Structure 1
């Protein structure tokens, strides 16, 4: 598959009263069209800042971001967020409580003609298993259903790429892992390219084709889930993978009532 997303040695920093604070340094990655990538790491490692840079909300201090043949960002120049053809899913769903499921999904389609908009909403309701919920309101849905509405709304305008910012963090463990598999299936059916940001290894391994383990603003290994498990590039990666796996096992044991 052709390359769709390319981050070429990007650096990002925040202005503070004491000067610039580096957050991301010389970070590079590429993702093929139709693939799902993931930035995996602890809080504060810079993964969400990278996602914000791809979406157009953080200016680069160095490097460039490309989507296909279009340079989205470079120093001193960037395409506006609304012109990037990039969809976004948030961890808090960000649904409009006063709108039905159908109207939430259709929110980004206001410039489409009525017939085409209705057809697209119907397609997405079927794709996400929400056919019977179109006229319900967000508060009438479970957390998993609300997240599927958020996914449908993000996919509705047919973006070139989808960004997912900790999308399952507000769900319980069982729902989180099940929904991760469902989201992967949906993205693969629609051939969408996506980048997920998470601190949860189980989510990353359930959904991603390639995972970037991050440490202090850098990707220390960009690899397949198999490669991370069987060929860690450093002691940090090996320890991180083992630690996260152990935490997931303990969480599952607790839910089953096996932990005291």
Structure 2
């Protein structure tokens, strides 16, 4: 497998009255082409900031971001977000309420001839199982259907890398689990490389080939789900994995008992 995404010693910080507040520090990882990665951790650990930096929305204080060997970000230079060949699916889906499904999916295809736009939209809607909803509006769709429209729109311009910010957080537990497996199947079918952030261990382990456990702005471990379970890098990672697994079992037991 060849490396598609390389993050090299990233540091992200925000200016405050007390000086720079570092939110991500010394973070390095690589993601192979065709693989799905996940950054896992609690709110405030820096995982969404990493995603925004890859997309070009946050400047780097230190380090480098490279995609297929091309440098996208450094402290002294940055490729514009629209020129990065990176697609992003936001937590709230960010669908345009005044556009139907076809209009939403075709939004990033305006440079293509109309005939190619229509064919690409049809292909994407068939891929996500929404061919019959092409003329529907977002408010007429379920949460899961809106999530699929957002995925189709993100994939339509054929990005090299797809970024997903808590893609299932607005869905109930049953829908999250079902759509997590569906998302993995779609990405594997198309051969896309993707990186998602989540606080849900079950979600990360169901989807990702590589999972990164983040803690206080640092990457504690980047490995396969199996190795995170069986070969944690330190006691902190082991404790986090155990606590999350216990919480999931309790939640499942509660759901069965209702």
TM over 0.5: yes
**Residue number in structure 2 paired with 1:18:** 18
1:172 equivalenced with 2:141 (yes/no): no
**Residue number in structure 1 paired with 2:96:** 96
**Residue number in structure 2 paired with 1:137:** 137
Number of paired residues?
258
Other structure's SS at 2:106 match: helix
**Residue number in structure 2 paired with 1:196:** 196
1:67 equivalenced with 2:55 (yes/no): no
Question: C-alpha displacement at 1:242, in angstroms?
Answer: 1.0
Work out the CA distance in 2 between the residues paired with 1:135 and 1:249.
Answer: 41
**Residue number in structure 2 paired with 1:153:** 153
**Residue number in structure 2 paired with 1:83:** 83
Other structure's SS at 1:256 match: helix
Other structure's SS at 1:181 match: helix
Work out the CA distance in 2 between the residues paired with 1:103 and 1:254.
Answer: 41
- Give per-residue Cα distances to partners, 1:177-217, cap 9 Å, x unaligned: 11011011101111000101000001100110000000111
1:47 equivalenced with 2:37 (yes/no): no
Work out the CA distance in 2 between the residues paired with 1:52 and 1:77.
Answer: 16
**Residue number in structure 2 paired with 1:117:** 117
Other structure's SS at 2:257 match: coil
Structure 1: which 4+ aligned runs deviate by more than 4 Å?
Answer: none
Q: Mind listing any 5+ residue stretches in structure 1 that lack a counterpart?
A: none
Work out the CA distance in 2 between the residues paired with 1:100 and 1:24.
Answer: 38
Question: C-alpha displacement at 1:257, in angstroms?
Answer: 2.3
- Give per-residue Cα distances to partners, 1:2-61, cap 9 Å, x unaligned: 100000111110101111001111110000000000000011111011111100011111
Work out the CA distance in 1 between the residues paired with 2:74 and 2:254.
Answer: 47
Work out the CA distance in 2 between the residues paired with 1:132 and 1:84.
Answer: 32
Q: Name which of structure 1's ranges 66-75 and 245-254 shifts more when overlaid on structure 2.
A: 245-254
1:32 equivalenced with 2:32 (yes/no): yes
Work out the CA distance in 2 between the residues paired with 1:192 and 1:240.
Answer: 29
State the TM-score, normalized to the length of structure 2: 0.98
**Residue number in structure 1 paired with 2:225:** 225
**Residue number in structure 2 paired with 1:182:** 182
Work out the CA distance in 2 between the residues paired with 1:203 and 1:96.
Answer: 27
Work out the CA distance in 2 between the residues paired with 1:161 and 1:208.
Answer: 14
Question: C-alpha displacement at 1:131, in angstroms?
Answer: 1.0
- Give per-residue Cα distances to partners, 1:124-171, cap 9 Å, x unaligned: 111000011111111111101100000000000000100000010010
1:57 equivalenced with 2:90 (yes/no): no
State the TM-score, normalized to the length of structure 1: 0.98
Q: Mind listing any 5+ residue stretches in structure 2 that lack a counterpart?
A: none
